[in-house]
């Protein structure tokens, strides 16, 4: 699905453009985040990026007030001595915060977004796509997840964290790589589906942890990927999951991405501890996304 197709998809799903705050942990000038931002704008959303000034991967939910910069931002995307917060002067929707992902999300929700939305707050928060997967134990340390969890837990805003298994950092001003485009299209597709499902977009204190497989081989176009409801942790001693595909134990994210094919894991996370949310909340998400979910072979 190309970006221009997303403009058609949004009304077809019955969704309306909404206010979306976006962050990541790889830095505001990382191409994955910029491609996704462009996809959200192309789909008709009022999206604002508020992300770290540089790569802050692995910082979890750290939240510390931003401090003035003495060196240029990532990829020379801002000059030295630029202060604690800044923006692209020609594109004020693109903002950096000289701190961690959770802090960037907090500033985006409380300050940066409302300045551009006539005092209103975001209706949905998205984070990523992260450069590299965030699966199982890595979820606890992921800054991409930390940003989404801040939105869901502290600000009570529905949130989605996206991660892509294809690694390798990319500058915002380099030619767009196919993997960045595909991840952006996929992330926008799920975002639009959640919005089209109606408010409340997600249960309270819930975030979605979404992991895309590598863009390679038979998985090079967005139309080739399939969505699977999954769980974050193994769950050997956990209560049953919601029923899906004839079972009350959802596959783990690891098993979804390890399955041959273009399978995307969609886990319903608990924003209180970053593990799998209970069955009743999984069921709400399952019912919202049922038209696009599939079963593993």
Phi, psi of 81 (to 5 degrees): 55, 45
- Residue 34 domain flag: yes
Here the tokens at position 221 are: 């176009």
Q: Is the pLDDT of residue 169 over 80?
A: yes
**Residue 296 belongs to a domain:** no
Determine, yes or no, domain membership for 85.
yes
**7-36 pLDDT per residue, tens:** 334 443 445 799 999 999 999 999 999 999
pLDDT of residue 236: 85
pLDDT at 178: 98
Does any domain span residue 227? Answer: yes
Helices 3-12 & 31-42 angle (0-180, nearest 10):
50
Q: Tell me whether residue 297 is in a domain.
A: no
Report the distance separating Cα 285 and Cα 35, nearest Å: 26
pLDDT of residue 147: 98
Mean pLDDT within 145-170: 98
Question: Looking at the domain assignment, is residue 50 inside a domain?
Answer: yes
The pLDDT, as a whole number, for residue 145 is 98
Cα–Cα distances (Å) from 133 to 32, 218, 260, in that order, read: 13, 19, 17
pLDDT for res 46 = 97
In the chain, the number of structural domains is 1
CATH of the domain at 34: 3.40.1210.10
pLDDT, one tens digit per residue, over 59-118 is 999 999 999 999 999 999 999 999 999 999 899 999 999 999 999 999 999 999 999 999
- Is 294 part of any domain? no
Domain coverage including residue 63: 3-289
Q: In the predicted model, is pLDDT for residue 132 greater than 50?
A: yes
């Amino acid at each position: 699905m190309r970006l221009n197709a997303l403009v058609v998809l949004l009304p077809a799903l019955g969704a309306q453009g909404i206010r979306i705050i976006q962050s990541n942990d790889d830095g505001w000038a990382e191409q994955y985040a910029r491609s996704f931002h462009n996809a959200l704008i192309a789909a008709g959303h009022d999206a604002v990026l508020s992300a770290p000034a540089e790569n802050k991967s692995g910082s979890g939910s750290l939240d510390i007030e931003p401090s003035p910069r003495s060196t240029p931002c990532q990829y020379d995307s801002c000059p030295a001595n630029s202060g604690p917060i800044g923006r692209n002067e020609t594109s004020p929707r693109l903002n950096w915060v000289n701190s961690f992902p959770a802090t960037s999300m907090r500033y985006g929700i409380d300050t940066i977004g409302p300045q551009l939305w006539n005092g209103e707050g975001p209706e949905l928060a998205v984070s990523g796509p992260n450069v590299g997967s965030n699966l199982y134990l890595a979820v606890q340390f992921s800054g991409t997840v930390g940003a989404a969890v801040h939105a869901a837990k502290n600000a009570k805003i529905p949130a989605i964290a996206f991660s892509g298994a294809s690694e390798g950092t990319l500058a915002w001003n380099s030619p767009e790589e196919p993997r960045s485009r595909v991840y952006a299209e996929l992330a926008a597709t799920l975002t639009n589906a959640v919005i089209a499902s109606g408010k409340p977009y997600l249960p309270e204190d819930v975030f979605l942890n979404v992991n895309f497989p590598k863009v390679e081989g038979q998985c090079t176009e967005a139309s080739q990927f399939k969505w699977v409801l999954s769980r974050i942790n193994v769950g050997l001693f956990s209560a049953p999951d919601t029923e899906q595909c004839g079972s009350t134990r959802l596959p783990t994210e690891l098993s979804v991405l390890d399955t041959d094919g273009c399978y995307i894991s969609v886990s319903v996370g608990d924003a209180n501890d970053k593990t799998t949310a209970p069955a009743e909340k999984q069921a709400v998400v399952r019912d919202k996304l049922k038209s696009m979910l599939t079963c593993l072979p």
